[in-house]
Structure 1
Amino acid sequence: MRRCLLDDLMAGAGRLAAEPLALRPALAKRLIHEAHAAHHFMRRHGVPHPRWGNGSLMTRALGDGPRTSGLCLQSLAIMAWEVAKFRHENMQRGHGLSQRGELCYDLPNSRMDHGRNQSKTDGG
């Protein structure tokens, strides 16, 4: 999955808010895993996945249509927790995350450059 920023979490939370509370954690996991799969698809084929988008959580969450309900803080908390859990599990396995330390948010000397606006010509 591409880097998860605040807008990604907000879009995911908006998608979760439309569902009953008991179903939200499972939906959050599904959206995250589908975004992750879409990112692999995009890297392999050079085009966005036809249903799941470019690998960002936002494109996956909005792929089912725009959110219809307002922001729910419980949904935002669930989405943030599931993203953190996904990252932690992948880091433990050494799978699905870049091995380049400067690309990780949780390192004290990281550059917080998310790379979303970089072109291939400038090293992004």
Structure 2
Amino acid sequence: MKKNIDILEHILTYCEDIEAALERFGREKDIFDTDRDYRNSVCMSLLQIGELTGHLTEDFRERTKDSVYWPAIKGMRNLFAHNYGAVDVGLVWETAISDIPFLREFCERTIQSFRFPEQEKEQSSGVECGRENLLK
């Protein structure tokens, strides 16, 4: 499980990078549509998240598949890496706005439950990530 936690910590960092870009550039889709630096920043972080999901153990992905749809995250990474010109900017925007906060929360909760398992028993059973866009 430690390996998965290390990977989730890296995924969490990229989620935070996306959220920082949203704050820095503005949470306005028209800015996102016209600013290449903004789009590239978000896309690179999404690519890295997708790459990292491939390093999670199969057992972990299987156990958490009802919370996070890992194949979609990996699929978005493959799209960025192999066919960047075909990236749907609207999908990237929706992923950054809607799905990344859920993925961040999932990572935080999972990391927290690993570090402090007693607290997890006292809290709710888990967080389900949004299924629209990236996580469906």
TM-score (norm 2): 0.30
TM-score (norm 1): 0.32
